[in-house]
A and B are shown apart, each in its own frame.
Chain A
Amino acid sequence: MASSMRGLTQFIADIRACRVKELEEKRINKEMANIRRQFKDPQLSSYQRKKYVSKLIFVYILGYKVDVGHFEAANLVTSNKYTEKQIGYLAMTLMLHEHSELLLMVVNSIKKDLEENNEYNNCLALHAIANVGSNEMAETLGPSVHRLLISPTSPNFVKKKAALTLLRLYRKYPEVLPVAEWAQRIVSIMDDEDLGVVVSVTSLVMAMAQDNLDAFSVCYQKAVDRLHKLIIDREYAATYSYYRIPTPWLQVKLLRLLQYYPPSMDPTVLDVLQKVIKAILNNSVEVASNVQQNNAQNAILFEAIGLAIHLDASSAMVTDAAELLARFISSKETNVRYLGLDTMAHLAARSDSLYSIKQHQATIINSLRDKDVSVRRRALDLLYSMCDTDNAEIIVGELLRYLKVADYGLREEMVLKIAISTEKFATSYKWYIDTILQLISSAGDHVGEEVWYRVVQITTNTDNLQEYASRAVFEHLRQPQCHESLVKVGGYILGEYGHLVANEPGLSPIEQFQALHSKSPYCSAPTRALLLTTYIKWVNVFPEIKDHLVNVFERYRYVLDAELQQRACEYYALATRPQEELLQQMCEEMPPFPPRGSALLNRLNKKHTDTEDGRVWIIGGKEANEDQFRKGRKATVDTNVTGANGAAATSGGGPDLMSLADLDLNGPTGLMAAKPVLNSSPSIDKWYEKLCMSNDGILYEDNAIQMGVKSEYHGHLGRIALYVGNKMSVPLTAFTASVTGYNPDAVSLTFAKIPSNTIHPKTQAQHVIHIESKKPFEGAPILMISYLAGSLTSINIQLPLLVTKFFEGVTLTQADFFERWKLIGGAPREAQVVFPITLDASGGVDLVKNKKILTGHGFSLLLDVDPNPLNLVGAGVLHTSAAGKVGCLLRLEPNKVAKLCRLTVRSTSEEVAAQVMQAMQKPLSKNSAL
C-alpha cells in the first residue's frame, strides 16, 4: 500500500490550517498551478507523478473541479509498482464517471492486469471494473472476470472480488452475460471452503437466481446445507465468528436466498431447514449482553422468521415467532421495536388469520406516537396491513386523527393507505363517503389526484351511493374553508347527481350553484374548467338556473386561459341553441366505469420497485401479496405504467384507456425447466438396461468416478442406495446429486439426507433414495450429478426406475388368465407391437433370454397357458399407494420364420400397458442375451 508521501501530508495540513474558504481556495489554486507546471516536465519521476495525482484526488474529494491529471493517472495505472498503480486506479475510479470516454484509455491496461499472473494486480483491475464497469467493459472483460472466478488456481481474494465484480456487471448489463450457462459452475462455488468466497458468491447467486430460478435451483440445497453446517454442526473457521456468531452476514444472505424460491417439495431438505430455523429461534431466547452479538443474533432471527413465514405462515413455528414479535414491539430498544413491527407486517401480509396480530392492536396504535419517525412509519405499514372489515373503522379513525399531526414526509403515503383501506373494508357506503371526504378536507395538499378520481369512480359505479354522496359533498362545500380537491369532487358529483337531491330543502339548484361557484375564484384553471363542465350538465337538468349558468359562460368567453375560453365558448353555444336534443345527448348520465385495478394501489406499490434484491412480500394484506406473486416480481413496473395512464383517463371522461389495465405485459412467469441433456454411450445404455431387470449393479463409470446401485422394492415402496466412488487422488468437491424428470404426483423420490458435498480420494459415498409409487408413472427419472475437480463436471443419466420395479408376479391358471384377458379387452387397455428379432446362434428363438426379460420386469411366467412352447405368457400386479393395485397381463409370440415377434400387454390401466410394452420391447429385440 502507498507509503506516506510527505508532500501530500504537508499539503493536507496546509489546507486544514486555512481558516476561511478563500484561503483554502487560494492554497488550492497555487497547488493546481504547480501541478500543471510539473506535469509539463518530461523528466517527472513516477514518485512525483504519484504524489501529484494523490494531491489532485484530495482536491477532488474536497469538492473542487479537477480537469487535469487524467492522463497522468492512466500512466500510473501502467506502472510496475503496486503503490503507483493503486493511486492511478483510485484516481480513475473516483474522478471518472462510468460513461467517461477517458475510461477507454485504461480498458487495455485493465485487461492486461486482469490477465496477468499476479493476484495483486488482478485485484486492482477487479476493483476498477467493480467501481466503474461500463457496458463495454462487461462485453470485453466479462469473460475474463468469469474465468478468474472459476479458475481453480485463483487465490481466494481474487475469487471474492471476481464474484462481486461479475455481480456489478450483471446488475448493469444482464443481457451481456450467458448466465444460465454459467449457473451450475457459479453455484458450485457456494461449497468453497473459504467463507469469504462463499459470502461473495452468494451475493452473486442471489442476484442471478432471482431472474433465473430454475437454472440456479441447486443453490437451494446448498444454502440449506451450509446453514446446517454453520448453525447446527457449528463447522466454520474460527476467524469467521463475529462476537460468537458464525458469519451473520452469510447466514442472513442464505436465509434470504431461500425466500426467493417457493418452499421446497423435498421433505428431507424441508426437515433440515426446519431444524435450522428452530435452532435460530431457540438461540434468541438467551439475550446477549454485548450489543454486537445481540444485533448479529437478531439480524439472523428476523431473517429466519421471514423465511418461516414464507415457508408456511400457519405453522407452529410461526406461532412461536409471533409471540416473540409481540414482545419485541414493546421492547425498550428502538431498533427492536422497529424490526418487530416490520416483521409483523410481513406476517400480516402472508397470514390467513390476523388474530394473533390483532391482540396487540392497542400497542401498535400507540407506536404511531413513538419518538422515532422510523418506528411510526413501520406502525403505519403494519396498521395498513392488518386492517380488515372488523377493525377498519377503528384503525382508519386512528389514522385520520394521527394524520393531522403526522410528519409531512409521511402524509402523502398515509392518505393513500387510508383511502385504500376505507374503500376495501367499508361496511357501509355512508362510512366510506364520510371518511373519504373528511380525509380530503383534512389532508388537503397531500391528497394525490388518484384519491379523488377513485371516489368519483366508485360513486359512479354504485347507484345507491349517489344520493348520499351528493348530500355529503354539499355539506363540505358549504364550509367557508374547502380544499380544492374537494371542490373537484363536488363539481363532478353534483354535476352528475345533484338533481337527485335538488328537491330537498337547502339543496335547491340555486343553492348548489352558489355553494360551488363561491369556491371558484380560489381554484386553479383546471378545476375551473371542471366546474364549467358541471355547469353545462346543470343547464340540462336545472332549467331554472340556466340564466346564471349562461352568464358564467358568457364571462369566461373572454378569459385569457385558452382551455377555459374554448370550453366557455363551446358550452355557451350549446346552452343557447334553440333545440335541446344535442345538449341532452351530451349530458347523458355517465356510464359506469369498467372494473379495474385501483390506481391507488399502483401508486403505493411504485415505492417498492427500486431495489436490487427483490422484495419477497409487500406492505398490505394477504390479498395484495397474492396478486403480487401472480404477477411475478419483475412485473410491478409495467403494471404501474398502465395504472397511471388509466387514472388519467377517469378525469375528463376522455377515451377509455382502461382496457390496457388488463393487458398482461409479462407473459407466463413460471418457465418450465428445460430437460437436461443426457450423457450417452453404449456402456451407459448397457448398464442401464441391465439394471432395469436387476436390482444391483454398476450404473456409471469413467476415469474419475464410479457409481453403483443397490435397490430393493416392497409393495409400493422402494429404496435405492447409490454408491459414488472417487477414483482420483484428489477430492471431489461441490458434489451435488438430484433427481428430476418425473411427475411428483405419481412417484416420489427423496434423498434420505442432503448429499455431502465432498468425496475424499479413493473413497466411496453412499446416498440413499427413498421411493414411493403413488400412481402408474411414465419413463425413468433422470439422475443429475455434478462435482468439481478442477473444473465442473456434470453427468445426467437415467435412473433405472421404471414402473415395472413395483411389479409383483402372480400365478394364474389357464382359465383365470383367459377370463381376465377377455375382461380387460382390446384397445385402449391393450398395447400391442410387432417388431423384428434376431435369432440366437443356433437359429432359434432365444427363449432363455425372453424368460429372463419377463421375470426381470416383475412378471410371473405362466407355463401352461399357451400350448406353443416358444410363446410366453406372464402376469403381474403393480403396487401403488394412491391408485391401489393394477393388474397386468402379457403375451409374447415370436415367429422364427418371419423373424418377427408380437408383444401384447393388457392392463386395467392404459398407461401401464403402454409403459410395460415400451420397457420390454427394446431388450426383447436385441440379439445378445443379457
Chain B
Amino acid sequence: MIRFILVQNRQGKTRLSKWYAPFDDDEKVRIRGEVHRLIAPRDQKHQSNFVEYRNYKVVYRRYAGLFFCLCVDSNDNELAYLEAIHLFVEVLDSFFENVCELDLVFNFYKVYAILDEVFLAGEIEETSKEVVLARLEELEKLE
C-alpha cells in the first residue's frame, strides 16, 4: 500500500502531501525533509526511480521542477506505482490544461479532490484517465 504521497519542488517546498498511514505532525515534517534530501540529489540519468527509505521504498519521478514521490511497502511492484504517478500527472495535466506548480498552489483544494478520485486508502482507485476526467467534470458542475 501507499504510505504517503509527496509532491515537492527542487527547493524542497512540499506542494502536496497525503498520508495514508498515521504520522504525527512532527514526524510529517521530518519525513518531508528526509525524502527531499534523499531524492533531490539523485542523478536522473543513471539512477533508478526507486530508493529505499526506512522500511519502505520511495518510487518517484521528476516532472520539470516537481518531484512526485510515492512511499510504498518494500515488496510492492515498483513499476506499477511509477506508472500510477504518471497516470495522476496526466490527469492533473488534462484537468488544469498544462499543469504547472502554481496550479497546485492556488487550487490546492481541487488537487486534493482529484487525488481522492485516483487514490484512496493507499491504493489505486481508478485506472482510467477518461473515467476520472469525466467524473471531475461532473463534480465541477455541482454547486
Contact = CB atoms under 8 A, between A and B. Distances in A.
B52 interface: yes
Contacts of A82: 139, 142-143
Classify chain A: how many residues form its interface, as a range.
35 or more
Nearest to A251: B80
> Residue among A61, A126, A607 with the most chain B CB within 10 A?
A61
B78 A335 contact: yes
Contacts of A303: 77, 80
Interface string B64-79: 0000000001111111
Contacts of A613: 1, 73, 75-76
Nearest to A237: B128
B109 A87 contact: yes
Contacts of A815: none
B94 to A, nearest CB: 13
Nearest to A80: B143
A81 interface: yes
Interface in B114-143: 116, 120-131, 135-136, 139-140, 142-143
Interface on chain A toward B: helix, strand, loop, or mixed SS? helix
Given A338-B50, A372-B46, A612-B1, A239 B106 contact: no
A240 interface: yes
Nearest to A9: B106
A550 interface: no
Contact of B127 (A249, A292, A610): A249
B83 interface: yes
Nearest to B90: A292
Given A1-B113, A167-B121, A335 B50 contact: yes
B79 A302 contact: yes
Nearest to B117: A157
A242 B48 contact: no
A292 B61 CA distance: 12
A338 B50 CA distance: 9
B97 interface: no
A374 B50 contact: yes
B29 A63 contact: yes
A9 B107 CA distance: 9
Contact of B47 (A247, A372, A607, A611): A372
A741 to B, nearest CB: 35
Interface in A279-314: 292, 295-296, 298-299, 302-303
A375 B48 contact: yes
Nearest to A127: B116
B51 interface: yes
B31 interface: no
A12 B106 contact: yes
A334 interface: yes
Interface in B5-53: 17, 22, 24, 29, 42-43, 46-52
A248 B123 contact: no
A299 B83 contact: yes
A195 B142 contact: no
Contacts of B1: 171, 612-613
Interface in A710-758: none
A518 B114 CA distance: 67
A1 B127 contact: no
Contact of B125 (A2, A58, A161, A374): A161
A240 B105 contact: no
A73 B116 CA distance: 19
Contact of A240 (B109, B127, B136, B142): B127
A199 B127 contact: yes
A334 B47 contact: yes
Nearest to B112: A90
B62 interface: no
A518 to B, nearest CB: 41
A234 interface: no
Q: Of residues A54, A296, A615, which shows the largest number of chain B Cβ atoms within 10 Å of its Cβ?
A: A296
A320 B14 CA distance: 45
B78 A1 contact: no
Contacts of B87: 242
A338 B42 CA distance: 15
A421 interface: no
Given A371-B47, A615-B75, A296 B127 contact: no
A242 B83 contact: yes
B80 A252 contact: yes
Contacts of A371: 43, 46-47
A321 to B, nearest CB: 16
A335 B82 CA distance: 10
B107 to A, nearest CB: 8
Nearest to A15: B105
Contacts of A337: 48
Nearest to A196: B126
A130 interface: yes
B98 interface: no
A196 B74 contact: no
Interface string B92-114: 00000000000001111110110
B105 A16 contact: yes
Contacts of A98: 22
A196 B79 contact: no
Contacts of B139: 1, 82, 120
A298 B17 CA distance: 28
Interface string A74-85: 000000011100
Nearest to B135: A157
Nearest to B17: A61
Contacts of B51: 373-374
A252 B77 contact: yes
B143 to A, nearest CB: 5
A296 B83 contact: yes
Interface string A372-390: 1111010000000000000
A299 B50 CA distance: 13
Contacts of A611: 55, 73-75
Given A1-B136, A372-B48, A375-B48, A61 B77 contact: no
Contacts of A327: none
B54 to A, nearest CB: 9
A630 interface: no
B86 to A, nearest CB: 6
B108 A302 contact: no
A122 interface: no
B113 A292 contact: no
A196 B76 contact: no
A164 interface: yes
Contacts of A240: 127-128
B109 A2 contact: yes
A250 interface: yes
A330 to B, nearest CB: 15
A203 interface: yes
A130 B121 CA distance: 5
Contacts of A127: 116, 120
Nearest to B58: A374
Given A165-B120, A252-B80, A296-B79, A335 B49 contact: yes
B80 A374 contact: no
Given A167-B123, A239-B128, A295 B83 contact: yes
Given A4-B107, A372-B43, 15 more contacts: A90-B112, A165-B120, A167-B121, A240-B127, A242-B127, A252-B77, A252-B80, A298-B79, A299-B78, A335-B48, A335-B49, A335-B78, A338-B48, A338-B78, A371-B47
14 contacts: A1-B139, A4-B107, A12-B105, A16-B105, A61-B17, A90-B113, A195-B128, A240-B127, A240-B128, A295-B79, A303-B77, A335-B78, A338-B50, A377-B52
Interface of A: 1-2, 4, 9, 12, 16, 54, 57-58, 61, 63, 81-83, 86-87, 90, 94, 97-98, 120, 126-127, 130, 157, 160-161, 164-165, 167-168, 171, 195-196, 199-200, 203, 237, 239-240, 242, 247-250, 252, 256, 292, 295-296, 298-299, 302-303, 334-335, 337-339, 371-375, 377, 409, 607-608, 610-613, 615-616
List the 7 closest A-B pairs by CB distance, nearest first: A299-B79, A168-B121, A82-B142, A372-B47, A611-B73, A203-B123, A334-B48
